Every structure is written in C-alpha cells, then in structure tokens.
Amino acid sequence: MTMNNDELREEFPRLKRVNEYQVSIGNEDHTLMNILRYSINKKCEDVEYCGYTIPHPSEQISLFNVQFRESYKQNSENVYAALIEGLEGVEMIGKRLLEEIENFNK
C-alpha cells in the first residue's frame, strides 16, 4: 500500500517530516522508540541505520532517523514505509508475548 505525504499526515497526525532522514514523533518516549528501532533494524534490509533521540525530557517529541543503504531510496515516503513496517513488527512482538503469557499457566 503506497500512501502520499498528505494521506500519511491524516492517518498519523503526530508525525512530522523533519527532512529526508528524520521524522518527529510526538508524545512517545523510549518505551516505543527503542522497540521500534529494534524492529526496523531486524525487518528492513534496505535500512543501513535507524535510531532516535529525545532532545529534552521536558519536550514530548522524539526524533527518529532512518538511513537507507542506497541513497536513491532516501526519501520521506520510504522513511514512512520503514516506520510502518517497524510498527507492524512491534505489533507481532506484542502478539507473541501475549500468547506466551496466556499459555504460561496451561
């Protein structure tokens, strides 16, 4: 599924494009950012590096960076696609963990 920037902004209003490498994500902290970074690094073979910074603890903003191996792939649409793929991975991790917890006492 390919979405243009306007569609992405409507669906994910807390996301803002900073540049072709970086997205600002509002109201999230290390809890989501760390597992999202892990998931993107595991799932997205085209991604050379991804990471995040939280500029200041009093700010409710995380800056998430995604760098692709091939420079021609470096654009905001591919960054958003990597974020979506990473979030799908986070969802799968959560589902697996929930299954493990539910089956723990069986």
| Domain range annotation of the chain | 5-102
Is the pTM for the entire model greater than 0.85?
Answer: no
Gap between the Cα atoms of 98 and 76, Å rounded: 33
Give CATH for domain 5-102: 3.30.1360.10
- Radius of gyration, alpha carbons of the chain: 15
- Give the pLDDT confidence of 41-99 residue by residue, as tens digits: 999 999 999 999 999 888 889 999 999 999 999 999 999 999 999 999 999 999 999 99
- Which element (helix H / strand E) includes 63? strand 61-68
CA angle 53/29/100 to nearest 5° reads 120
Please write the tens of the pLDDT for every residue from 23-45: 999 989 899 999 999 999 999 99
